[in-house]
Amino acid sequence: MKKPKILVTAFEPFGGECVNPALEAMKQMKEEIAGVSVIKLPIPTVYESSLALLYRAICEHQPDAVLSIGQAGGRSGITPERVAINLDDCSLPDNAGDVRIDRPIFADGDAAYFTTLPVKAMVQAMREKEIPAALSTTAGTYVCNHVMYGVLYYANREFPELRAGFVHVPYLPSQVQDKPGTPSLELSQIVAGLEASVETIFTHAQDVHTIGGSTH
């Protein structure tokens, strides 16, 4: 029987930061989690090349799932994303200096794609380990959303069996020393949360039916 595989991606540092907690956590994740082979792929925080690299990796490895990880400075917990929208629009340049305004990611794509990962179950699994976690309904309109939308677009068009989604993680404590009042999370907790998420992806073909949204 073929061993299941998950492709895990994480961005390089961006926005003037010297470190990206997503990348550091991915490096420390186990190579195998609950019988699932973990393929790790660092990707640039660049609109075009991030998706191109990811697409090649999907074609090469044929994973059963893709879990992309990004930094969301200011959030206090690990936040699986529920939806990606077909829009690049952010004043922050990517690491190639590209600033995008009101640009569709794919002209022929749907307005939005929902994740195909069991995000509510992932949140439950992390909370059971006393790791701060919550469901998010906005992945922003920067490169994180670009990658989430792009992978779901590819799955919709070319890889119908592929499950995919995105998780944002908070700053590390070292990143907030000059940011008073900004929340952070220890790297060990981020790693544990991501590993619990990977296990949950492969134990839940369907998400749990529970409230996960919020009023704003």
CA distances from 96 to 18, 49, 50, 91, 135 (A): 16, 10, 11, 13, 30
Looking at 24, 90, 146, 168, which residue is catalytic? 168
Q: Is 81 one of the catalytic residues? A: yes
- How far is residue 80's CA from residue 136's CA, in Å, rounded to a whole number? 6
- How far is residue 146's CA from residue 80's CA, in Å, rounded to a whole number? 15
Task: Decide: 152 and 164 in contact? Cβ < 8 Å.
Answer: yes
- Nearest of 73, 56, 76, 78 to residue 19 by alpha carbon: 73
Looking at 24, 81, 146, 195, which residue is catalytic? 81
Q: Is 59 one of the catalytic residues? A: no
- Nearest of 158, 163, 175, 194 to residue 77 by alpha carbon: 194
For residue 68, what are its two tokens? Answer: 């992309």
Looking at 24, 144, 146, 195, which residue is catalytic? 144
Q: Which residues are catalytic?
A: 81, 144, 168
